[in-house]
Amino acid sequence: VKHGFVLLAALALAAIGPRAGADEPRSGARVLTDLDDARACRPLAAGGFAVATGGGLAIVSKDGAVKTLTSLDGLPDTRVHAIAGEGDAVWVGTEAGAAIVSLRETPKVTRVIPSGPVHAVHVSPSGAAYLGAWGAGVLRVASPEARPETLASGVRGTRATAIADHEGALYVAYADGPLAKLEGGSLRAVTGSPTHGQALASVPGEDGAPRLVLGDLEGLFRVGAEGVVPIGSVDARGIAPWGAGMLIGTYGAGIVTGSARGALRSLSGAPPFVRGVGVRGAVRCAATTQGLLVDRGDGTLEKIALGGPPSNDVTALAPNGGRIAVGTFDAGAAIFERGSFSRVAGLEPNESVSAIAWQGARLLLGTAHGLVRVEPDGTARRLRAQDGLPNSFVRAVLVLANDRVLVGTDGGPAIVERDRVTPLAAIEKTGPQPLASPMHATWSLAAADDGTLFVGTTAGLYWGKDGRYERASLASGELLDDWVTALAIDGDDVYAGTYAHGVTRLRFAQRRYDARPAAKQLGGGHVNPDGLLVANGRLHAATMEGLLVRPKDDDAAPWTTKRDASPGRDVTAVRFVGGEMWVASRRGIGVR
Amino acid sequence: MKRVHTRLGLAFAVLLAIGCGTRTGQQAKPATVRGAAHETVTLRSATLEQPVRTAFVGEGSLEVRSEKVGKSRLWLQKLAIEAQSTGDVVEMTIDHVFENRSDEQLEGTFRFPLPEGAMLVGLAMEIEDKLMEGELVESEKARKVYEQILDEMRDPALLEWESGQTFKLRVFPIEAKKSKRVVLRLVAPLHRSDAGLFFAYRAPAGDGALSPERVTLTIDKRPVSFGVAASGGAVRAPTGEMLVKIADEAHDAYVEQTKSGRYYVAHVAPSFDGPAPRPDKPQAMIVLCDRSRSMLEARALEAKTVGLLVDELGPSDRFTVITGDVRARSLPGGLRPPADKAAATAFVDATEPDGASDLGALLAAAGQAGDEARAKGFEPVFVYLGDATATWGETRSPELESIARRSLGGAPLHVLVLGKSPDDASARGLAAATHGRLLRPKTEDDARRAAQKIARARTARRIEDVRLEAPEGLEVASELPGTIYEGDDVTVTAFRPASKDERPGEAAPELRLTGSLSGKAVAQKIGFASALPARDVARRWAKARIEKLEREGDAKKEEIVKTSLEHGVMSRYTSFLVLESEEAYARFQIARKAKHDANGDARVTGRDLDGDGRGASVSPDHLQPGDPEVRIPAPADAQSVVVVFPFGETKTATYEDDGRGGAWVVRFLVDAHTPDGTYEIVVRITHRDGHVEIQKLAYVVDTQKPNLDVSIRARSDGRYEISAKQRLSAEEIAAQAPSAEGSLEERRRRYAHVLTDAKRAEVRTPDGQTIALTHVRLGEFVGTWTPTEPVARGAKLRVVAVDRALNENAIDVVIP
């Protein structure tokens, strides 16, 4: 206990809550996003909190109920960076622009200002809103209905990270330039300020007069008549006035309090990585990489478990009965079962998972550090290059018959039988030659019923068995792109999804894989790894432009983009589970 | 530690007198020497003063080859040496300006002799009027980058270890009538003597190659007239070196505090109580020369060393030589007087190094020669010249040591390690087992000093069976010899990592040296309590560690590379690479050293932003399209490493010990719609002690297709030769070098070696063949097509090119 605060550590451990971050947006799809990826927060006038997260805007009511808005609810993007306001409406900054969200009755988006990422929003005492657009300077919106106007600027910074009013003047912190002050209608650099600004606030000084405090990657600074004075080495990401001093959210040192003269003190027990803080009277909150911390005014800091998958950057889905394994780019994997997520054992907390497959009750995960085999009892075995894999970076996993597994690595494919690894080899005149080279990184795998293997690499598609392989490529004229990221087999057809040129259908008459196939280019954009699925008579492609669907038997039919299928445009996987379609994206999962 | 009492004003004559003593070797007991300043000092007893340790042994040379005059050396227009002392070493910047007076564009090889004990820590070269700092890079990677841009390049340079103490640098182009500037940075030991610390350098040879007027020398910011005695206090040593006094006293120990911990260096000068040996017989030097195949490259030095050893003998001494490969051959005529030196070198020269090495047989033959010497009233002294690598007969080191002890009858075997790949452990074992010296001469001068030491070894007191005991938590990088002779210059380096348990004011660590002196056990402490702060101690520790690891061969390559890169000390497995622009470094993903913000206001902790710039760097050497990985070699014990991406996201790196030396790693995704260009990542490292370091790293987003110019030539035998060469488009150049100026052709020429990145090309022929073209040089591919059917008129080839970022381009070309 320090300075009257009590941190409820036990609550802080409940990172994955029973609600699992699920919400029902207006599109009708259920979303599963990681709301513990909190980026900013504000206590609301009506009680409760507004929380900007990587998985949407979460409105936590006074009674603890959580309502989440994502792009499926009209936000420009599901990733929300900033919040301003506390009354009937709040401004939010998202990855694709800003929006006004009305908090009257059910929260809803009432206005959208599309743009690039907006990392800073600020509502001045006059009611004008200022939006810090990443790469495009600062926009002023005089009233909720007014058109945005770009502020004139004489500074080199374009990536605004924080905006504050101080003694009647507007200040802007930039990630790529010095602090700026609005003078004479134009932003001008504050002499001597550091150039990696992250947070900014006007806070009370010890004499009661306000002091401007700038958080920069280089440290914490007081800006005033005496110049720019360093007052701490912390990496401040959020600053708010607090009592006679300030509350600081830091990236690495947790929550800190102090005065504008320095004398910083850490609050013990808080998560180390804090992205934002909010204060309203005696109520305060902190947005951290591990969720939301709130103090409802009684000096007790508690964690509000918002839950969801381990990360919003979902890379892989693998259903198995009533369970669905979910792999993420930066936070390992979890199993979704009976409405909640539980983390997969044997992985590092920030493990990068590229592929998932079930081998009975055993879970196989392709990661940047090898193939991880997790047994039903939770024990894990990791195979890497030193165990015989062509490369430790495993990008694809395919379970074959007879307890064998085919893995695709950055150094080529290999067969894994328990702990024995055998690189896949082509029989040449000179003997077996592994299908491995820096240009043969394997991204996708498939197997036909007769045992023919299909290996999608960065140098084209290989197929064959027993050491004899054919290759389709850009040179052979069958592919439009050699980087084969996804494969799906349906009868005579093999669909090859590519990184930059959509899907190619290779039709093998009567499944004669020793003959050249007939190729048909279907288009479809950038297909993500393991992003093809044939189901219900349709071909589904998870692409960077969204989920694309087309009838598999109608060559003339166009692709249909399912924009309301997931909370993110960049769709990474699609699977059907029971009667539901699960669509994974870089912004979480949509279920409908 | 015992030390001669010296005072300010002690004249150099004292040193010269000591130097004379070294030459004559006659001082066997304490003596007094009167200095020129009329101060009387007491010299240490039988100590033979160390040979002068030279910080600058000579300028670099730039050898060029031209069609008109063949091979020649380029005129050295100017040589500027700046030396700054710290502790008992000196940091030197040696700036060479060569002049190409010819009207030809030349290619040259720069070679530089590194002084003994020195370490190379930097290289810069002037490129288009701008001095470009090189980067230390793992040799294989450096070589790959270098070769990739080799044929298109204008000015890249690669400095590699050549052999011994020599490093070479290929320089191209050296434009006609223009100069070429090459700057080396090194740290070299100062010469220690009882009279103080001295900067020693070799004066010009007097052959006119380098006149003093063209040389500037500043030492500790004081100008010194190069090669002139009495300038800046310089005097000439009897052996010819110029000596400039740096300090009146050579301190025993130094310490450097870094964020990783404390590094120590100490000079070991154990007490040698008791009388010095007084030989009552003349010596018979029995020289064993390994002449197996592995000695091929060292054969000249080996023969020379034999002569130098004989030179050190007195008139009543005798010698013989035994050469060995799979069998041992003795110099005919048995023991010979020193006057027969020519016969010795001729005998060695007559045996061409070849075949395997039966070291056991050589030792047995030496034993017989030793017995004969004893029978004739001589005291045998054995000297082995070779790589100590037994490949025939007995090859086990313990057995060879046993043979040596048995055969040599208790006489010492001094081991002079020669050859490219010596078995250092075996050499150490042989010397230790017989209480001989272990020396590693790399040059003729080294060999001369080694010969002097060996000739006088039997009159010097020595501690045998030397062991060094270190307390837990102290990592000692240096290996002490098995026998320490009085007067040996032995240095020990140690490192104590920073620890959470460390308390302020905690006592400095101590080492314990044990051994036996005249048959009695001795134990002495080597303390660091009095260590003075100095720079470069960490680098000296790193150098010692690298040398220790190098003796274990390629198996320790990864550790060597890690230590070398961490401390900025060049090794056999790392090279300095100079590229012509910052864009080139970014393009080849070679991290630039940290450039700390010079703004004093930003020094939050007062010590955080003014690091030495060589500890950590950011290296994305595993960059891949799609999901790149950033590796930051920050210390493993850093509190956090936070990476801020240009698209606004912040990620926390995690430490991964992945067998590549360990690094903080973070992966990120490049959005498919990111515009082409160079982007900057900012890294904030919070070190264990709380100090903050900011680093920046650039990466390139490239979505431009590689364009190829394809030519097809029909051969008379019906085959076709296909060649393809990448030609940069205006879009490619604009995307990655937006500030480039000039016409498209000018920009192409300037950026070809930086932006050319086609990695693979293949051809689909009308008869259905797919031919992979061979990548012959940067951006160029060739192949041959043998049609299997007649080629129709107007038929086309499809050529597919793929670049490093996996951008692809398919080009249809009509067959002529």
Find residue B782's DSSP bridge partners. Answer: B723, B774
CB contact B674 to A (< 8 Å): no
With CA atoms as reference, the chain A residue closest to B608 would be A233
The whole-number average pLDDT for the span B224-247 is 73
Q: What is the structure's pLDDT at B229?
A: 65
Query: For B18-44, what is each residue's pLDDT tens digit?
Result: 222 222 222 222 222 222 222 222 222
Q: Which of B694, B804, B808 to mutate to test the interface with A (most CBs of A within 10 A)?
A: B808
Higher local confidence (pLDDT), B207 or B430: B430
Q: What is the structure's pLDDT at A27?
A: 61
Contact B121, B114 (CB under 8 A): no
Q: How far is A198 from chain B (nearest CA, A)?
A: 10
| Amino acid in position B588 | F
The mean of the pLDDT values for chain B is 78
Q: Nearest by CB to A196, which of B604, B654, B682?
A: B682
CB contact B300 to A (< 8 Å): no
Query: For A65-78, what is each residue's pLDDT tens digit?
Result: 999 999 999 999 99
Q: What is the structure's pLDDT at B33?
A: 26
Contact B658, B666 (CB under 8 A): no
Q: What is the structure's pLDDT at A55?
A: 97
Q: Is the pLDDT of residue A25 over 70?
A: no
Q: Is the pLDDT of residue B186 over 50?
A: yes
pTM for this model (two decimals): 0.61
Tell me the two tokens of residue B417: 């390690």
* Choice among A421-430, B7-16, B620-629 with the minimum mean pLDDT: B7-16
The whole-number average pLDDT for the span B208-226 is 79
Higher local confidence (pLDDT), A207 or A262: A207
Residues 781..810 of B with a Cβ closer than 8 Å to A: which? 798, 800, 802, 806, 808, 810
Q: Is the pLDDT of residue B805 over 80?
A: no
pLDDT band at B286 (very low <50, low <70, confident <90, very high): very high
Q: What is the structure's pLDDT at B166?
A: 66
B672 interaction partners in chain A (CB closer than 8 Å)? 526, 544, 570
Q: Please indicate whether, in this complex, the C-beta atoms of A474 and B684 are within 8 angstroms of each other.
A: no
Q: Nearest by CB to A235, which of B626, B684, B764?
A: B684
Higher local confidence (pLDDT), A315 or A229: A315
The whole-number average pLDDT for the span B110-137 is 84
Closest C-alpha among A5, A2, A3 to residue A300: A5
Closest C-alpha among B664, B666, B677, B623 to residue B644: B666
Query: For A127-159, what is each residue's pLDDT tens digit?
Result: 999 999 998 889 999 998 999 999 999 999 999
Q: What is the structure's pLDDT at B11?
A: 24
Alpha-carbon distance values, B480 to A353, A529, B96, B385, B802 (Å): 49, 57, 37, 20, 55
Q: Nearest by CB to B604, which of A233, A275, A348?
A: A233
DSSP letters of A465-511? ETTEEEEE-TTTTS-S-S-EEEEEEETTEEEEEESSS-EEEEE-GGG
Closest C-alpha among B267, B194, B243 to residue B42: B194
With CA atoms as reference, the chain A residue closest to B659 would be A386
Q: Which of A217, A315, A442, A528 to mutate to test the interface with B (most CBs of B within 10 A)?
A: A217
Q: Nearest by CB to A218, which of B647, B652, B692?
A: B692
Contact B486, B50 (CB under 8 A): no
pLDDT band at B504 (very low <50, low <70, confident <90, very high): low
Q: What is the structure's pLDDT at B491?
A: 87
CB contact B694 to A (< 8 Å): yes
Rounded Cα distance between B13 and A14, Å, is 80
Q: Please indicate whether, in this complex, the C-beta atoms of B602 and A350 are within 8 angstroms of each other.
A: no
B673 interaction partners in chain A (CB closer than 8 Å)? 544
Q: Which of B558, B597, B601 to mutate to test the interface with A (most CBs of A within 10 A)?
A: B601
Bond prior to B173 in cis (omega within 30° of 0) = yes
A227 interaction partners in chain B (CB closer than 8 Å)? 601
* Choice among A166-180, A224-238, A562-576, B249-263 with the minimum mean pLDDT: B249-263
CA Rg value for chain B:
31
Query: For A350-384, what is each residue's pLDDT tens digit?
Result: 899 999 999 999 999 999 999 999 999 999 999 99
SS3 B295: helix
CB contact B247 to A (< 8 Å): no
Closest C-alpha among B237, B215, B240 to residue B225: B215
Rounded Cα distance between B75 and A14, Å, is 74
The whole-number average pLDDT for the span B589-602 is 40
The whole-number average pLDDT for the span A46-74 is 95
Higher local confidence (pLDDT), B673 or B73: B73
Q: What is the structure's pLDDT at A261?
A: 80
Q: Nearest by CB to B648, which of A159, A221, A483?
A: A159
Residue found under tokens 């950057």: A313
B763 interaction partners in chain A (CB closer than 8 Å)? 475
Rounded Cα distance between B247 and B229, Å, is 18
Query: For B673-721, what is each residue's pLDDT tens digit?
Result: 777 777 888 889 887 777 788 887 777 777 888 899 999 999 899 999 9
Rounded Cα distance between B551 and B387, Å, is 12
The alpha carbon dihedral of A376, A380, A385, A391 has a sign of positive
Q: How far is A210 from chain B (nearest CA, A)?
A: 22
Residue found under tokens 């996987």: A573
The whole-number average pLDDT for the span B586-600 is 49
Q: How far is A475 from chain B (nearest CA, A)?
A: 5
Q: Which of B144, B623, B670, B684 to mutate to test the interface with A (most CBs of A within 10 A)?
A: B684
pLDDT band at B622 (very low <50, low <70, confident <90, very high): very low
CB contact B688 to A (< 8 Å): no
Vertex A233, ends B692 and A135: CA angle to 5°?
Answer: 80
Q: Terminus-to-terminus CA distance in chain B, angstroms?
A: 85
Higher local confidence (pLDDT), B550 or B199: B199
Q: What is the structure's pLDDT at A300?
A: 84
Rounded Cα distance between B351 and B331, Å, is 11
* ipTM field: 0.88
CB contact B650 to A (< 8 Å): yes
Residue B426 dihedral angles phi and psi, to the nearest 5°: -65, -40
Q: Nearest by CB to B694, which of A218, A232, A352?
A: A218
Closest C-alpha among B681, B702, B684 to residue B693: B684
Contact B322, B289 (CB under 8 A): yes
Closest C-alpha among B450, B422, B449, B454 to residue B435: B454
Alpha-carbon distance values, A289 to A133, A278, A336, B671, B782 (Å): 23, 15, 21, 22, 53
CB contact B597 to A (< 8 Å): yes
Q: Nearest by CB to A218, which of B597, B624, B798?
A: B597
The whole-number average pLDDT for the span A1-18 is 31
Q: Is the pLDDT of residue A275 over 90?
A: yes
B307's CB contacts (< 8 A; 6+ apart) are B341, B344, B345
Alpha-carbon distance values, B41 to A409, B191, B195, B565 (Å): 73, 19, 10, 45
Query: For B348-364, what is each residue's pLDDT tens digit?
Result: 988 777 777 889 999 99
B809 interaction partners in chain A (CB closer than 8 Å)? none
Residue found under tokens 């670049």: B803
* Choice among A295-309, A357-371, A546-560, B161-175 with the minimum mean pLDDT: B161-175
Q: Please indicate whether, in this complex, the C-beta atoms of A526 and B802 are within 8 angstroms of each other.
A: no
The whole-number average pLDDT for the span B725-742 is 81
Query: For A451-480, what is each residue's pLDDT tens digit?
Result: 999 999 999 999 999 888 999 999 999 999
Q: How far is B764 from chain A (nearest CA, A)?
A: 5
Q: What is the structure's pLDDT at B598?
A: 25
The mean of the pLDDT values for chain A is 90
Strands (E), B674-750: 677-686, 692-701, 708-714, 720-726
Rounded Cα distance between B232 and B572, Å, is 37
Q: How far is A452 from chain B (nearest CA, A)?
A: 22
Q: What is the structure's pLDDT at B750?
A: 74
Work out how many CB contacts closer than 8 A connect A with B. Answer: 126
pLDDT band at A185 (very low <50, low <70, confident <90, very high): very high
Find residue B183's DSSP bridge partners. Answer: B95, B124
Contact A464, A499 (CB under 8 A): no
Find residue B112's DSSP bridge partners. Answer: B167
Q: What is the structure's pLDDT at A431?
A: 61
Share of chain B above pLDDT 70, in %: 82
Higher local confidence (pLDDT), B78 or B382: B382
Rounded Cα distance between A403 and B628, Å, is 33
Higher local confidence (pLDDT), B293 or B571: B571
pLDDT band at B13 (very low <50, low <70, confident <90, very high): very low
Higher local confidence (pLDDT), B588 or B310: B310
Higher local confidence (pLDDT), B273 or A287: A287
The whole-number average pLDDT for the span B145-171 is 69
Q: How far is A196 from chain B (nearest CA, A)?
A: 9
Q: What is the structure's pLDDT at A173?
A: 97
Tell me the two tokens of residue B673: 């719609």
Q: What is the structure's pLDDT at B392?
A: 78
Higher local confidence (pLDDT), B365 or B327: B365
The whole-number average pLDDT for the span A329-352 is 93
Q: Please indicate whether, in this complex, the C-beta atoms of B601 and A228 are within 8 angstroms of each other.
A: yes
Residue found under tokens 């200022």: A130
Q: Which of B595, B604, B680 to mutate to test the interface with A (most CBs of A within 10 A)?
A: B604
CA dihedral (A215, A218, A221, A227) in degrees, to 10, reads -130
CB contact B206 to A (< 8 Å): no
Find residue B506's DSSP bridge partners. Answer: none
Rounded Cα distance between A352 and B627, Å, is 10
